């Protein structure tokens, strides 16, 4: 009864609205970043969308990123918004396979920007030959280093593996720990592994590994770990890395005790907060290991998806194509200091890291999403624990790899 009553009130209200203006419709968006700059960029984009579509009644939600990883399950199954943020690559796999995300291949085919300016990132948004989301931002990974330490020791940016190892020798001689890292939360170690594997074996082998087609005890992967062992030996990492988060690990870097950091571009702001000036830090691409291998890079993207149970699909698609446009992508990423996936979008040319990042990614032969997004979550968890264990004690390598094979056999069934 109550339901009927509600319904009749709603229909009366709708009738009144219709008589006064064009039919109003809803759009509910769920975002997952409360960091001040990220939040501001999202809010600005939503405001711009409202202005462009005054007839759509937009509800914009925002929440904590870690909490979102848990709550999205409930959101997709019970209480769907019309647009929701999530990660591409294998991380979207379970939801796509369970039919909880909507296939938006038609939008990719018909939209002007999506069909022409997103070719580099399109493969990571694709599963089963269809596209499932629209990326709004991504960033490069590489080696961030203390330029002033390099200058003082007369070193230059290494282009090859041997040059890097040579640089490390000079630094250790001078009492500087070459690399800082904090592996308490594991994923930082995966960044190092990804680069070593991409440079030792290339993009295809790396992809096959994270897709479960190659075993961890394969000779090619062993070669990667052999290089890592050389790196641990000659380019030592800070010794207490297992108790530090990635932010903690900035302290020795800022103090001048360590000179390099394998990281993503989101870290630049934190270096500056720690007291480093723009001219003290710089960036180089992870050096070449196997000569002549096409250079692939890490470039994790963040994207919007439409849940299969969304109620206002037309509006959701309108929002996605709005987000895909060159102007919005340019504005959004300028304010958060990251890169627009739309190749036609403008970038902030005053930020040297963004310029170098654009250069790095636009010339890359392939883009990886990062180990914990390319591999299924269960595999990634075990893999990253294995990497940490290997870093603390390289003699456990055989045990680590055999255990990873066991988990792999189970996870990819």
CA distance 77 to 109: 27
Question: Residue 187 Cβ, how far from other proteins at the closest point, in Å?
Answer: 10
Q: Which is nearer to other proteins, 234 or 381 (CB)?
A: 381
Q: Which is nearer to other proteins, 176 or 214 (CB)?
A: 176
In this structure, what DSSP letter does residue 1 have?
A: -
Q: Which is nearer to other proteins, 11 or 349 (CB)?
A: 11
What does the binding site for other proteins look like in residue numbers (CB under 8 A)?
A: 2-3, 69-70, 73, 77-79, 91, 94-95, 97-100, 146, 148-149, 152-153, 174-176, 183-186, 239-244, 248, 251, 255-257, 308-309, 377-378, 381, 385-386, 388-389, 392, 399, 403, 406, 410, 413
Question: Residue 403 Cβ, how far from other proteins at the closest point, in Å?
Answer: 6
**Both tokens assigned to 132:** 């499932």
Q: Which is nearer to other proteins, 70 or 292 (CB)?
A: 70
Residues in the chain: 413
Question: Residue 71 Cβ, how far from other proteins at the closest point, in Å?
Answer: 11
370: buried, middle or exposed (CB in 10 Å: 19+, 13-18, 0-12)? buried
Q: Which is nearer to other proteins, 63 or 256 (CB)?
A: 256
Question: Residue 190 Cβ, how far from other proteins at the closest point, in Å?
Answer: 13
Q: Which is nearer to other proteins, 143 or 176 (CB)?
A: 176
Q: Which is nearer to other proteins, 91 or 199 (CB)?
A: 91
Question: Residue 287 Cβ, how far from other proteins at the closest point, in Å?
Answer: 22
Q: In terms of C-beta distances under 8 Å and separation of at least 24 residues, what long-range contacts does 264-269 make, across chains too?
A: 264/139, 264/140, 264/141, 264/191, 264/298, 264/300, 265/139, 265/140, 265/141, 265/337, 265/338, 265/339, 265/353, 265/354, 265/357, 266/139, 266/337, 266/338, 267/144, 268/144, 268/337, 268/353, 269/37, 269/337
For residue 158, give the 3-state DSSP assignment.
Answer: coil
Question: Residue 53 Cβ, how far from other proteins at the closest point, in Å?
Answer: 28
In this structure, what DSSP letter does residue 181 have?
A: -
In this structure, what DSSP letter does residue 102 have?
A: P
For residue 184, give the 3-state DSSP assignment.
Answer: coil
CA distance 186 to 137: 24
Question: Residue 264 Cβ, how far from other proteins at the closest point, in Å?
Answer: 18
């Amino acid at each position: 009864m109550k339901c009927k009553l509600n319904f009749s009130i709603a229909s009366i209200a709708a009738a009144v609205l219709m008589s006064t203006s064009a039919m109003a419709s809803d759009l509910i968006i769920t975002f997952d970043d409360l960091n001040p700059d990220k939040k501001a960029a999202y809010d600005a984009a939503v405001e711009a969308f409202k202005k462009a579509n005054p007839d759509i009644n937009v509800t914009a939600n925002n929440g904590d990123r870690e909490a979102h990883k848990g709550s999205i399950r409930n959101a997709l199954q019970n209480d769907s918004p019309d647009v929701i943020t999530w990660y591409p690559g294998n991380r979207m796999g379970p939801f796509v396979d369970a039919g909880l995300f909507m296939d938006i291949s038609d939008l990719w085919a018909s939209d002007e920007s999506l069909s022409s300016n997103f070719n580099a990132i399109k493969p990571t948004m694709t599963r089963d030959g269809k596209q499932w989301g629209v990326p709004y931002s991504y960033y490069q990974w590489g080696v961030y280093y203390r330029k002033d330490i390099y200058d003082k020791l007369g070193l230059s940016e290494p282009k090859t593996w041997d040059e890097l190892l040579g640089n490390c020798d000079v630094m250790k001689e001078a009492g500087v720990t070459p690399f800082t890292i904090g592996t308490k939360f594991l994923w930082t170690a995966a960044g190092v592994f990804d680069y070593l594997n991409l440079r030792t074996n290339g993009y295809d082998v790396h992809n096959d590994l994270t897709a479960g087609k190659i075993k961890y005890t394969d000779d090619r992967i062993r070669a990667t770990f052999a290089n890592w062992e050389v790196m641990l030996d000659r380019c030592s990492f800070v010794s207490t890395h297992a108790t530090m988060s990635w932010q903690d690990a900035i302290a020795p870097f800022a103090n001048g005790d360590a000179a390099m950091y394998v990281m993503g571009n989101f870290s630049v702001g934190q270096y500056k907060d720690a007291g480093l000036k723009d001219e003290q830090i710089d960036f180089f691409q992870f050096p070449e290991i196997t000569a002549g291998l096409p250079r692939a890079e890490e470039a994790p993207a963040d994207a919007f998806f439409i849940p299969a149970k969304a109620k206002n699909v037309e509006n959701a698609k309108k929002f996605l194509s709005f987000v895909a446009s060159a102007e919005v992508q340019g504005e959004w990423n300028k304010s958060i200091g990251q890169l627009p996936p739309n190749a036609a979008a403008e970038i902030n040319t005053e930020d040297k890291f963004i310029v170098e990042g654009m250069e790095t990614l636009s010339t890359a032969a392939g883009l990886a999403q990062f180990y914990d997004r390319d591999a299924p979550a269960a595999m990634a968890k075990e893999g990253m624990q294995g990497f940490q264990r290997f870093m603390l004690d390289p003699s456990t390598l055989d045990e680590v790899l055999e255990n990873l094979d066991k988990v792999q056999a189970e996870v990819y069934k």
